[in-house]
Structure 1
Amino acid sequence: MTAVAQLAPWHRDFPGMLAGSVYAVAPGGRASAAAAMRDAGIGIHVDVMAEDEGLPAGVGRRELADVASAAGPARLDVHLIGSPAFVDCALPEVLAHAPAKVFLPWAAFTEERAAAVRDAGASAWIALWQEWDGTGAPEWPAAPDGVLVMLIEPGTRDRCRTERLAVASACAHRVPVIVDGGVTKDIAPLCVTAGVESMVVGRALLSGPADGEGV
């Protein structure tokens, strides 16, 4: 099976609107999956998570370097999932790989950290779970370049909570929005209707039939 054959063919229906989460791929295959997505014009999304607030889980340090190399310039986005202390520990190494976007947890999103991200040439996005319900005006802890609206709880695997697309839509009237969590071929059109800029997709993109099958 070639690297391109890892991608579900429905990705062609959303050109320029998808980022594939390499966390959905088994360790050892993530760099090749990133290369396949790069060649297909799909962004590469990496989750770097705290494990007991020590070494990163999700995509590890060595693997992050391999994925970044395979992704190429301006194709890599990184979501840091953990405490502010973990973010401070992991952020310098993440920025060394020149990501296009860095998603910081709401609790860790400060002017200082956002400035560090921007100074490295990336845009600073805030990850939103349940910190704002979409009503009234959001009280950002600092001004973000965009919002990553989580459709499932960060760091977990769950069904997409499509009711949270109302929050995504409310955000989209203010700043660029990306959604992440359980997005599938059937849910993607609902995300587009909500006004999102892009969608992070995991198993539904990387565990589908081989490219060219069922088309």
Structure 2
Amino acid sequence: MRYPTLNPAILAEIARHPGATLAGSIYAVAEADRLATAEHLVHASLWIHADVIMDDLTHWGVDLSLVRTLSERGIGPLDVHVIAPELDGLISEICAQKVNRITFPFESCPDLDAVADIARRIRSSGAAAWLAVAPGTDFAEVRPCFETIDGLLVMLIEPGSTGAADPALAARAGQTGPGLPSGVDGGVDAANLGACLSAGASYVVSGRALLSSSSSAAAGSPGSASSTPTGRTPKGR
């Protein structure tokens, strides 16, 4: 494959914010190119963000076999973002791998105790436990979880949608307090990245906008972990 050229404007903006971490969403490239793209991201000292998505009983997004391959080969740092209506089985499968971070959706947890329990399971596997929050969720509902998680991922588009990012939602990244890191995901590009970082995000996920020359980007594949070409939306709480 021809390696994607990483968007220089995004790299430059990240460089202007010491302490900020950039991850490339490998779901934004064709399936056949994801392993090589992950290796390319690591060579560029970036994180790999891999969306593992399950709708009913069907796996899509980044395949679990690729997560296993990345883990076995020590390719990382790797953040696995689970997007599914039911988390138990997927969390167990991913916890069995050696990954750096597992991000799971608040909307798929029945209550706050479930959030805490999943976070404990993730940490017991050696990974950090991050919680993703969708745009339509009342942020006040999420605040009680801050003491039980390792970080918060603010979604700028609804999981399962392909709409434009709402940069105003990035303000949530600055509302976690000094002890809890936060990030943004969903339609992040060179135009809105600066606002996201200024709002307080220290972790940024970008897909198509970062991987600007990939063959799949030219074909119009999704640009972030939560944007899907199918229009299927995981069920929420």
Could you say if the C-alpha distance between residues 2 and 184 of structure 1 is closer, same or farther in structure 2, counting changes exceeding 3 Å?
same
Q: TM-score, normalised by structure 1?
A: 0.84
Structure 2: gaps of 5 or more residues: 215-237
> Quick check: 1:56 aligned with 2:59?
yes
1:96 match: 96
CA-CA distance at 1:172 after TM superposition: 4.8
Deviations 1:30-82 (A, max 9, x none): 0000000000011000111112x213210112233334456625x00011111
**Identical-pair percentage:** 32
The 8 Å contact of residues 170 and 201 in structure 2, kept in 1 or not, is answered as no
Find runs of 4+ consecutive structure 1 residues off by over 3 angstroms: 66-71
CA-CA distance at 1:182 after TM superposition: 0.5
The 8 Å contact of residues 18 and 198 in structure 1, kept in 2 or not, is answered as yes
1:79 match: 81
Letter of the 2:175 partner, please give it.
A
CA-CA distance at 1:175 after TM superposition: 1.8
Letter of the 1:138 partner, please give it.
R
2:230 match: none
**1:154 aligned residue (156, 159, 164):** 159
Q: 2: CA distance between counterparts of 1:160 and 1:113?
A: 28
Could you say if the C-alpha distance between residues 71 and 34 of structure 1 is closer, same or farther in structure 2, counting changes exceeding 3 Å?
farther
Q: TM-score, normalised by structure 2?
A: 0.77
Could you say if the C-alpha distance between residues 97 and 6 of structure 1 is closer, same or farther in structure 2, counting changes exceeding 3 Å?
farther
2:48 match: 44
Moved more, 33-42 or 107-116: 107-116
Structure 1: gaps of 5 or more residues: 210-215
- The 5-angstrom pairing of residues 137-176 of structure 1 reads 138-140=143-145, 143-173=148-178, 175-176=180-181
> Quick check: 1:196 aligned with 2:201?
yes
Q: 1: CA distance between counterparts of 2:73 and 2:9?
A: 23
Would you say how many aligned residue pairs link Structure 1 and Structure 2? Answer: 203
Q: 1: CA distance between counterparts of 2:74 and 2:191?
A: 27
> Quick check: 1:123 aligned with 2:128?
yes
CA-CA distance at 1:155 after TM superposition: 2.7
The 8 Å contact of residues 146 and 176 in structure 2, kept in 1 or not, is answered as no
Please, what is the CA RMSD of the aligned residues? Answer: 2.4
The 8 Å contact of residues 116 and 145 in structure 2, kept in 1 or not, is answered as no
